[in-house]
């Protein structure tokens, strides 16, 4: 499939796909005319890369990690190095802290909403 179709199927811009290729996150074959051609499994690869970016990983870390992740077609995966596993544990701890902060913020927002709703009821009742 061409880059336009891959972009449509994944919701990722063509510019981002070119960046992924440049960073070694995605591979494309070239036609004699120089156009990129992607295999069907590229859709799953792009989605996986997007998930890893959303988790806060940088492209260099994703390049290290991808060979250790089993492809959707069940292909073999490499064993992660101890350093990569340690880095991923640090990233996971960072995500845990972010989640805890978001939950705390949500609780504060819930309290503000409850207080605002209660204040509206009091002023409506007093009118």
Q: pLDDT by residue (tens digit) across 30-39?
A: 989 988 999 9
Residue 43: what pLDDT?
Answer: 93
Percent of the chain whose predicted confidence (pLDDT) is above 70: 86
Q: How many CB atoms lie within 10 A of CB 51?
A: 11
> What pLDDT digit, counting tens, does each position of 10-20 carry?
999 999 999 99
pLDDT > 60? residue 41: yes
In the predicted model, is pLDDT for residue 6 greater than 80? yes
Question: What tens digit of pLDDT does each residue of 55-92 get?
Answer: 888 888 888 888 777 655 555 566 777 887 888 888 88
Who's near 62: CB < 8 A, 6+ residues apart? 25, 49, 52, 53
Let me know: does 46 contact 10? Beta carbons within 8 Å: yes
Chain mean pLDDT for the chain: 85
């Amino acid at each position: 499939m061409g880059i336009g179709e891959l972009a449509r199927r994944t919701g990722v811009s063509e510019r981002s796909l070119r960046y992924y290729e440049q960073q070694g996150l995605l591979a494309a074959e070239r036609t004699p005319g120089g156009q990129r051609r992607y295999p069907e499994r590229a859709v799953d690869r792009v989605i996986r890369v997007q998930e890893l970016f959303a988790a806060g990983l940088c492209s260099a870390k994703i390049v290290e990690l991808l060979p250790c992740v089993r492809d959707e077609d069940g292909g073999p995966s490499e064993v992660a190095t101890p350093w990569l596993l340690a880095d991923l544990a640090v990233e996971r701890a960072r995500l845990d802290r972010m989640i805890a902060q978001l939950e705390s913020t949500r609780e504060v927002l819930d309290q503000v909403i409850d207080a605002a709703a209660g204040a509206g009821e009091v002023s409506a009742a007093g009118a």
